[in-house]
Amino acid sequence: MNTPRTIHNLALIGFMGTGKSSVGRSLATHLHFRFVDTDELIESRTGRSISDIFAQAGEQVFRGIEKQVVAELAKAQRTIISSGGGLAANEENMASLKQHALVICLWASPEVIWERVHTQTHRPLLQGADPMSKIRELLAKREPFYKQADVLVNTEMRSIKEVVQQVLHQFNLARGTSSAKS
């Protein structure tokens, strides 16, 4: 029943603060692919910020819109998809991405994530009284999903440039092209 998998795209999944957007933009430039950030797409579609959607409509509504966006992206070609941190924590979303994209998870420990995000204010899930506990809790819940990625790339102690090179290498291997050609 499963339709055969064809890798037209590259999807980055992983927790907040793992560098999906920065890495994704750079990959798109290197590969001459289109770049789509699911959060940006949701914001432009709804005309509201992610924070406003969470505050006014709630997380469930946000997850519903996120799911629609994932379903639409099944038609994408030559696209780098940078996904919101919670998008992959849903069986259907993961299955959909895997049909058309090489799924790469960017990884970091809770401590490193905290270092990277604690001064930022645009992530509603981390605006509570104890963001470090929230990071640990969410990461533990999501880890089984993140580990279903085709490739896991540790972003700790690596620059964005190094992560990009690592991802490019994996993508070229998956497509059967030599990284020397990219």
Which residues in this chain contact ligand S3P in the complex, by CB under 6 A?
16, 20, 39, 50, 84-86, 123-125
Question: Is the CB of 43 or the CB of 172 nearer to ligand S3P?
Answer: 43
**Shortest spacing between CB 170 and ligand S3P, in angstroms:** 20
DSSP structural state of residue 1: -
Phi-psi region at 19: left, alpha or beta (left = phi > 0; alpha = psi -120 to 50) = left
**Shortest spacing between CB 172 and ligand S3P, in angstroms:** 25
Give the type of residue at 73.
Answer: L
Question: Is the CB of 114 or the CB of 174 nearer to ligand S3P?
Answer: 114
Question: Is the CB of 86 or the CB of 110 nearer to ligand S3P?
Answer: 86
**Shortest spacing between CB 157 and ligand S3P, in angstroms:** 20
Question: Is the CB of 50 or the CB of 70 nearer to ligand S3P?
Answer: 50
Tokens of 106: 């960017």
Place of tokens 């430039």: 29
Which residue, among 122, 143, 104, has the nearest Cα to 17 in the 3D structure? 122
Minimal CB distance to ligand S3P: which residue? 84
Euclidean distance between CA atoms 44 and 181, whole angstroms: 35
